[in-house]
Amino acid sequence: MKESGFAVAGSSGEVVIADAMVQPLRSAPLPDWRQKLSEIDWVPDLGEDIGSPRWFRGLATLTLLTVGALSLLPDFAPVYGAQSPMPAGTQLEEVRAQMIMPIAYGSDTGRRMAANDSVRALAASPERPRIELTATLGRGDSFARVLQRAGVGSGDVDRVLGLVSGATRLTDIEPGTTLEIVLGRRTSKNAARPLESLDFRARFDLRLAVNRTESGALSLDRQQIMVDTTPLRIRGVVGQSLYRSARAAGAPAEAVQNFLKVIASRTSLSSLAATDEFDLIVDYKRAATGEVLVGDLMFAGIDRGGKPRIQMLKWNSGDSSQWFEASGVGESRGQLSRPVNGSISSGFGMRRHPILGYKRMHAGLDFKAGYGAPIFAATNGVVAYAGRKGGYGNFVQINHGGGIATGYAHMSRIAASPGQRVRQGQIIGYVGSTGLSTGPHLHYELYRDGRPINPLSITFTQRAQLSGGDLSRFKGELARLKAVKPGAALAPLPASARRNEEPQREIDRISAVKIGSSKPAG
């Protein structure tokens, strides 16, 4: 069969022709939309290629996600429960007592019933049967004013002052002392509360308690506290730093500072060698109740090669206390100290010479002093001259720097040599009558830029010299302190001193009760 130029060989031939026409379509790859979607970068980095189609596509993705998230936000409208009738009467008052809201809005604190018809209002508020309070004695305050401010009546204040002053002076009660006061019930609102008890520590070694007896009178109870007064002695090697070495040895900071001041007044701290030893003693008190009271520095010393080089003891001389050397010579204060212990017998200026018989300039001061009395350097300096000098006799001149110099004449013996560095108060010679002199005395001159000036233009400081009984007591106190062993004040207190003392801490009281009530096992 032949039709339109194509030969058809039955039905099987038609199938072959159809397969040949579809075969090209089968061999061509079909686009997969899922694969194309997966290849698109929907979340590009918006920090890259800003303004490109890829960037705008990422911005669109972000916008769609944000809008979608906002559309899914929950509704914050209040959720209303089932309507219930408001409570009334007693139920309302009980609910109001348990409300959690400010008191100003009508709520109560805790669960309690409000007042009802069975409750009667009081005519007046009841008073506390007793008041316990604590008062502190301030600096510049008085013991009586503290009691009055606490509410103690004037009658009780006068009786307490009489009792306390019989046990200790009121001025000995230090500022900062805590007063434990208990006031009792008063008879009327216009009357002061009676004092039930007063307890305080009057001194470091004394505690006082004032209590009201059954008869209504006030009585005083003295509680003596055992106190160990062994001074705290600390010794050690100077090392690279005297301050650090002393602090590392356990010396209090204030005591170390005072120690450095005392030592610096006798010698330069830079002259101390690392192998030198420091020796300091501090006033130290320990109470049996456990308190410690650190006092002032009492002794300052420097040893070199096992031998004392500097020994300074604080000693009460007259109305004041000052530092004395082991020999009993007091410290000097001021710019220039008096060169000898004695009064002035002749001043500065023109006078008739007692030996030459005519008037001439007296370029210094004459001091009365006994033969052989020590002569001290007026201040630190270097000896410029030491030897015989014409009418001056045995003469010493010291240069102090800044154009200032001092001269000492008529010595019986010179104790300094040229070029020697001396400190204020150091002995440089002894009073005599060498040269043009009518008797033992010291002729003292003061020079400024080589020219003599009136020494009275500068105030002198008298050096104290202990003698007689004062010197003996001074030597005894020095020996007593030096006999204290280092660290002896830190040894445990004897058991007898602590046996009758009540523990001060609550945990100690509880432990003591448990120990006292415990029975041995078995």
pLDDT tens-digit profile of 54-74? 888 888 888 998 998 888 887
Across the chain, mean pLDDT equals: 80
Percentage of the residues of the chain whose pLDDT score is greater than 90: 26
When comparing pLDDT for 35 and 323, which is higher? 323
Token couple for 490: 């830190």
Map tokens 């040269």 to a residue: 435
pLDDT of residue 21: 64
Q: Which helix (H) or strand (E) holds 398?
A: strand 394-401
Domains 131-225 and 232-325 fall in the same CATH topology: yes
- Condensed to tens digits (0 to 9), the pLDDT of residues 199-240 reads 999 888 899 999 998 888 999 999 998 888 899 999 999 999
Farthest CA pair distance, the chain: 186
pLDDT of residue 521: 37
The Cα 404–Cα 420 span in angstroms is 17
Token couple for 308: 């004392």
Name which of 444, 451, 448 is nearest 407 in CA terms: 444
511: pLDDT strictly greater than 50: no
Query: Which pairs with CB-CB distance under 8 Å and at least 24 residues apart come from 463-466?
Result: 463/329, 463/330, 463/331, 463/332, 463/337, 463/338, 463/341, 463/376, 463/425, 464/317, 464/322, 464/324, 464/329, 464/330, 465/328, 465/329, 465/330, 465/341, 466/315, 466/317, 466/324, 466/328, 466/329, 466/330
The Cα 177–Cα 136 span in angstroms is 6
> Binning pLDDT at 50, 70 and 90, where does residue 305 land?
confident
For the domain covering 336-461, report its CATH number: 2.70.70.10
> Binning pLDDT at 50, 70 and 90, where does residue 113 land?
low
- Which residues, 6 or more positions from 14, have their beta carbon under 8 angstroms from its beta carbon? 8
Which class does domain 232-325 fall in?
A: alpha beta
Can you point out the beta strands (E) in 170-291? 178-183, 195-203, 206-212, 218-224, 227-228, 232-237, 277-287
Token couple for 7: 């030969």
404: pLDDT strictly greater than 70: yes
Highest mean pLDDT (candidates 21-35, 174-188, 305-319): 174-188
Say which CATH topology domain 131-225 has: Nuclear Transport Factor 2; Chain: A, (3.10.450)
pLDDT of residue 236: 92
> Binning pLDDT at 50, 70 and 90, where does residue 395 land?
very high
- Condensed to tens digits (0 to 9), the pLDDT of residues 441-459 reads 999 999 988 888 888 877 6
Round to the nearest angstrom and report the end-to-end CA distance of the chain. 133
Mean pLDDT of 329-344: 74
Name which of 387, 390, 383, 368 is nearest 444 in CA terms: 368
**How do the domains of the chain map onto residue ranges?**
131-225, 232-325, 336-461
